[in-house]
Structure 1
Amino acid sequence: MARLTLKPNPTFKAKVEIMQPGSDAVEVEFVFKHRTRDEMDEFIKALADMSLEDQVLAVASGWELVDPFNEENVKLMAQSYITAPAAIRDTYIRELIKARAKN
């Protein structure tokens, strides 16, 4: 049975469904950065002024892809898979909200 700790891990993993044009979607596991309620409120307020790539860099710190997780590759993913940045951001927000709802 999982135990609740008052200081959550600084990162958590979740799978994101990335759509591929002309093919099935692929699930890619990301390492996401945990945020407190106050940090999340500030992040949500800042979203409107951030590029989609910056949003991904703000929420994630890694992925299960062969290519390293860095700004250049995040931009390449965003150019190659148009819906990927929003899917990554939305999964991150959903996971944090789900975690809060369970606690």
Structure 2
Amino acid sequence: MAKIKIAQNPTFTAVVQVPRIGAEPAPVEFQFRYMDRVALAGMFDRWNQARDTLTEKAKDSGASWEQVTAGEIGLQAEQLKEIVVGWELEDEFSDEAIAALVRTCTGAPKAVIDAFQAAYSPARLGN
């Protein structure tokens, strides 16, 4: 029987089906930052708080669609910066490239976050 260490690797990879407008989703390998359960819970608490704050701000100020969209783009870029440490895209991984991905590929943030979360799912464990 193989022996393993309890400690996880600091990063892991997963293939993300990145949606493309007018084309089939493209499989792209992303490298993610590993987090333990407590760190994950804290991150999701921050994300939920940020989304709630954005929603309330939009309601209270009567913000335009453009302002709300800009706020959501900023939030999604910050989320990806927190979990992604690299990718196999032609564009070099950087804060600017993350912002461009979020701004131009509407479904990409959800696809990336879903792939990150799926890696933690107990259902992925084999027999």
TM-score by length of 2: 0.73
For structure 2, which runs of at least 5 residues remain unmatched after alignment? 52-74
Q: Tell me, in whole angstroms, the C-alpha distance in 2 between the residues paired with 1:10 and 1:63.
A: 15
- For the pair shown, the structure with the greater C-alpha radius of gyration is 2
Deviation of 1:67 (Å):
1.5
- Structure 1: where are the runs of 5+ without partners? none
Q: Which amino acid aligns with 1:64?
A: E
Relative to structure 1, the CA distance from residue 102 to residue 73 in structure 2 (aligned partners, 3 Å threshold; closer, same or farther) is same
User: What's 1:88 paired with?
Assistant: 112
Aligned to 1:78: 102
The ranges of structure 1 where at least 4 consecutive aligned residues each deviate by more than 6 angstroms after the TM superposition are: none
Q: If the length of structure 1 is used for normalisation, what is the TM-score?
A: 0.88
Partner deviation per Cα, 1:28-82 (whole Å, 9 max, x = no partner):
1000000001001101111121601111111110000121111100110111111
Paired residue type of 1:74: I
What do you get for the CA RMSD once the two structures are aligned?
A: 2.1
Distance 1:79 1:93, change over 3 A: same
Counterparts of residues 49-88 of structure 1 (less than 5 Å): 49=50, 51-88=75-112
Identity of aligned residues (%): 26
Shift of 1:2: 6.7
1:15 aligns with: 15
Distance 1:43 1:2, change over 3 A: farther
The reply on whether 1:102 has 2:117 as its aligned counterpart is no
